């Protein structure tokens, strides 16, 4: 490349950087339009993946009761959602699968008000139909030759698994520590795992693809789900109304039908 060409490249690169700077300046404030028209409002709700079916129902009921309001749901692992919210993702309501993730948002001052607990979930043993490995209790999961799959301790269901281990005085040697409760459930459904520890609601949602086995130690480890309106919401009243809809008798019924316990 000759001298002229090199200068040209440097110039183009500089222009590119400038362009990038301008773009990022534009995207500074989280949401420019407020959606002022009351006839056409969108409420964005971030909810833990385990709430998918229940929150779809609650959102549909909410839309039916609020004219011109549409609820946009975003489901993912609670910590994924928290990371997005911390990076400025525009949302009005957040429902977490555990208190720890809600606390992260509280610590960053991103909540409007105090979170309210709206549901509780406990662990259950899931086995493939027919229970080929003959699992009957929590102690059976500690067997050496059993293909046990659990959540990694870093995620909420894995933290609950560790507490169940302590409560039952057993020590597991899983063949895999998965990223999410859905991954554990899939390993059981496909028959790769002889047993897995998942939430009661997951067993219920999987229908006859898995069998659930209750164990007494699960009562010692209850995962509580908090919900809160977010400080960045441009429509705080509507956000608060959605929170109340979750806590209302109708909302609670949807949750209990799916297997959630009262907090």
Segment lying near other proteins (by CB under 8 A), choices 5-13, 44-52, 89-97, 107-115? 5-13
Cα 237 from Cα 169, distance rounded (Å): 47
Segment lying near other proteins (by CB under 8 A), choices 13-21, 108-116, 164-172, 250-258? 13-21
Contact 238, 43 (CB under 8 A): yes
Q: Give 48's strand partners.
A: 76
Nearer to other proteins, 85 or 238 (CB): 85
Contact 122, 221 (CB under 8 A): yes
Looking at 160, 181, 187, 202, which residue binds other proteins (CB under 8 A)?
A: 187
Cα 175 from Cα 164, distance rounded (Å): 18
Q: Which two tokens stand for residue 261?
A: 């316990």
Strands 223-230 and 111-121: antiparallel
**Residue where the block lists tokens 């490349």:** 1
Looking at 165, 178, 211, 241, which residue binds other proteins (CB under 8 A)?
A: 178
Segment lying near other proteins (by CB under 8 A), choices 7-15, 62-70, 136-144, 239-247? 7-15
- Quote the DSSP letter at residue 262: P
Cα 42 from Cα 33, distance rounded (Å): 11
Looking at 103, 192, 244, 250, which residue binds other proteins (CB under 8 A)?
A: 192
Nearer to other proteins, 17 or 256 (CB): 17
Contact letters (x/-) for other proteins, 64-93, by CB under 8 A? -------------x-x---x----------
Q: Does 142 bind other proteins (CB under 8 A)?
A: no
Q: Which two tokens stand for residue 94?
A: 């957040």
For residue 216, how far is the Cα from the chain centroid? 26
Please report how close the Cβ of residue 39 comes to other proteins at its closest, in angstroms: 40
Q: Which residues bind other proteins (CB under 8 A)?
A: 5, 8-9, 12-13, 15-17, 19-20, 77, 79, 83, 147, 149, 152, 154-155, 174-179, 183, 187, 190-192
């Amino acid at each position: 490349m000759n001298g002229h060409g090199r200068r040209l490249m440097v110039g183009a690169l500089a222009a590119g950087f400038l362009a990038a700077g301008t773009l990022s300046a534009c995207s500074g404030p989280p949401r420019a339009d407020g959606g002022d028209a009351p006839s056409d409002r969108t409420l964005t709700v971030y909810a833990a993946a385990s709430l998918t079916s229940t929150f779809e129902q609650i959102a549909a009921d909410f839309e039916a009761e609020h004219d011109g309001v549409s609820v946009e749901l975003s489901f993912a692992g609670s910590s994924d959602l928290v990371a997005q919210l911390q990076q400025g993702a525009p949302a009005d309501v957040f429902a977490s699968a555990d208190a720890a993730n809600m606390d992260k948002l509280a610590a960053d001052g991103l909540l409007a008000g105090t979170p309210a607990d709206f549901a509780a979930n406990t662990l259950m043993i899931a086995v493939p139909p027919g229970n080929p490995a003959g699992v009957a209790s929590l102690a059976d999961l500690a067997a050496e030759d059993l293909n046990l799959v659990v959540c990694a301790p870093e995620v909420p269901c894995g933290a609950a698994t560790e507490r169940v281990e302590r409560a039952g005085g057993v020590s597991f040697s899983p063949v895999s520590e998965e990223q999410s409760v859905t991954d554990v459930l899939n390993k059981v459904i496909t028959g790769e795992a002889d047993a897995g520890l998942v939430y009661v609601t997951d067993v219920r949602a999987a229908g006859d693809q898995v069998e659930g086995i209750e164990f007494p130690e699960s009562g010692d480890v209850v995962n509580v789900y908090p919900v809160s309106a977010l400080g960045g919401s441009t429509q705080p009243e509507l956000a608060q109304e959605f929170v109340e809809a979750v806590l209302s008798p109708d909302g609670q019924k949807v949750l209990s039908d799916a297997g959630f316990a009262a907090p």
